[in-house]
Amino acid sequence: MNLAVFASGRGSNFSAIVKAIQQNEIRAKLRILVCDQPGALVIKRAQRAGVRVVLAKREDFSSRRDFETAIIQRLEEYRIDLIALAGFMRLLSPMFVKRYRKRILNIHPALLPAFKGAHAIKDAFDCGVGTTGVTVHFVDEKVDHGPIILQQKIKISAKDTLEILERKIHRLEHKLYPRAIDLFISGKIKSARSRRSSF
């Protein structure tokens, strides 16, 4: 199975996926990284891992549709079966989602449907909740929405700072995302509407 990762930033989840593939925990070929930020650290991570980089800058295209069409052309070129969003900071259009329905995964640093949005870790921390976590889900037309594949909880200790909580969340992401990707590849969640796990 051919996998594409979409990312815009540091790429720690990208590296976790690469490591899982190298250790045969994910039985797929990581064909391309799609990135919209030319200065993103994830590009260097991909180059070190020998993964081809597809750089698609939104400002190079006259419309969102043209931007996504160019990406789709590359996905078709590499015969991509599954897309893993790993900190890709652009919303995908309904057209794109429909084309790849049930073939786009996303990881979110909270227990959806709680704390949607780009600042989920800080929002949970500031809210003072005792528990947060990580969610892997299928992408649909709504933001941070779609059938849940895996969720795992993390307790927020009274001693935790925001930085400590961020590190705990990221460590969990690096374990949970490869697990969810492999579940998809093995066919165990192909038709599942929802699957939760506390592991």
Catalytic residues: 108
The helix or strand, by DSSP H or E, that contains position 190, with its residue range, turns out to be none
d(CA 170, CA 173): 5
Which of these, 192, 197, 178, 189, lies nearest to 15 by C-alpha position?
Answer: 178
Q: Is the dihedral of CA 119, 94, 141, 31 positive or negative?
A: negative
DSSP state of 1: -
Contact 71, 34 (CB under 8 A): yes
Measure the CA angle with vertex 22, ends 166 and 169; round to 5°.
10
